[in-house]
């Protein structure tokens, strides 16, 4: 309201300046001396100008100011909502990053545990296969030793029979000689290794 009262008298005084200049005759004393015509026209101009400004200028200006104020309020409210949403999204992003790091650490730990378990399983399987192979080798070696002993016994019996036959000039029959040699070889098997070497 202060702006309106300041603006209207200024415009009124500007509009009345030519009339004042003509009435005063070029001197400044007419502005100081009150005159009824001047007061009437000043008041009338002021009232008309106030009515015109109130109807055609102030209402649209106040409406535009209120609209601008409402727009600014809505913009501030939208900015506040956007800021809150951005803060929520940032917090959610931080939570997702924390969860991703935790899941990655858990996956790495699980992978290490699986690798360690697999390594132990491989080592156990290799140990089991080695022991099985050793057992099979022992069985095969024992079988080969038995077979070699049997073969050696047969060869030794044949050689002993031939030697005995030559020495005895065939006084004994072959069955008796074989029995004697087999008994001798059996006695050799029952002797300790040192005594066998001496025999």
Return d(Cα 157, Cα 183) in angstroms, integer.
Answer: 10
113 occurs within a structural domain? no
Question: Nearest Cα to 20, choosing from 3, 34, 9, 4?
Answer: 34
What pLDDT, on a 0 to 100 scale, did the predictor assign at position 167?
A: 63
pLDDT digits (tens, 9 = 90+) for 87-124: 999 999 999 999 999 999 999 999 999 999 999 999 99
Question: Nearest Cα to 199, choosing from 136, 190, 115?
Answer: 190
Domain that holds residue 184: 137-198
C-alpha dihedral, 28 to 30 to 31 to 37, nearest 10°: -160
145 & 78 share domain? no
Domain count, the chain: 2
79 occurs within a structural domain? yes
Query: Residue 1 pLDDT more than 50?
Result: no
106 occurs within a structural domain? no
Q: Are 53 and 4 in contact (CB under 8 A)?
A: yes
At residue 72, φ and ψ (nearest 5 deg) are -65, -45
76 & 141 share domain? no
Query: Residue 67 pLDDT more than 70?
Result: yes
12 & 79 share domain? yes
Question: What share of the chain has pLDDT > 70, as a percent?
Answer: 72
E strand or H helix at 1:
none
CA separation (Å) from 193 to 143, 150, 183, 198? 20, 17, 17, 9
What pLDDT, on a 0 to 100 scale, did the predictor assign at position 122?
A: 93
pTM beyond cutoff 0.85: no
Higher pLDDT, residue 147 or 31: 147
Q: Both ends of the chain: CA-CA distance in Å?
A: 146
9 & 82 share domain? yes
157 & 86 share domain? no
Of 52-56, 70-74, 77-81, minimum mean pLDDT range: 52-56
Average pLDDT over residues 39-49: 92
Average pLDDT over residues 141-154: 85
Domain's final residue, options 92, 116, 145: 92
119 occurs within a structural domain? no
Classify residue 12 by burial, with Cβ atoms within 10 Å: 0-12, 13-18, 19+: buried
Domain's final residue, options 92, 111, 128: 92
Which of 14-18, 28-32, 49-53, 183-187 has maximum average pLDDT? 49-53
Which of 56-65, 105-114, 149-158 has maximum average pLDDT? 105-114
127 occurs within a structural domain? no
């Amino acid at each position: 309201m202060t702006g309106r009262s300041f603006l209207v008298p200024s415009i009124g005084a500007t509009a009345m300046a030519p009339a004042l200049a003509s009435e005063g005759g070029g001197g400044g004393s007419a502005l100081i001396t009150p005159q009824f015509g001047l007061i009437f026209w000043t008041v009338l101009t002021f009232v008309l100008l106030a009515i015109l400004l109130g109807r055609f200028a102030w209402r649209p200006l106040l409406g535009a100011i209120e609209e601008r104020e409402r727009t600014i309020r809505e913009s501030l409210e939208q900015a506040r909502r956007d800021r809150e949403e951005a803060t929520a999204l940032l917090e959610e992003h931080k939570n997702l990053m924390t969860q991703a790091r935790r899941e990655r650490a858990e996956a790495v730990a699980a992978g290490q545990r699986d690798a360690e378990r697999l390594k132990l399983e491989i080592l156990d399987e290799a140990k089991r296969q080695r022991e099985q192979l050793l057992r099979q080798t022992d069985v095969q070696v024992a079988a080969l030793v038995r077979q070699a002993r049997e073969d050696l016994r047969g060869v030794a019996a044949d050689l002993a029979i031939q030697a005995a036959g030559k020495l005895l000039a065939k006084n004994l029959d072959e069955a008796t000689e074989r029995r004697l040699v087999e008994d001798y070889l059996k006695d050799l098997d029952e002797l300790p290794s040192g005594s066998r070497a001496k025999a």
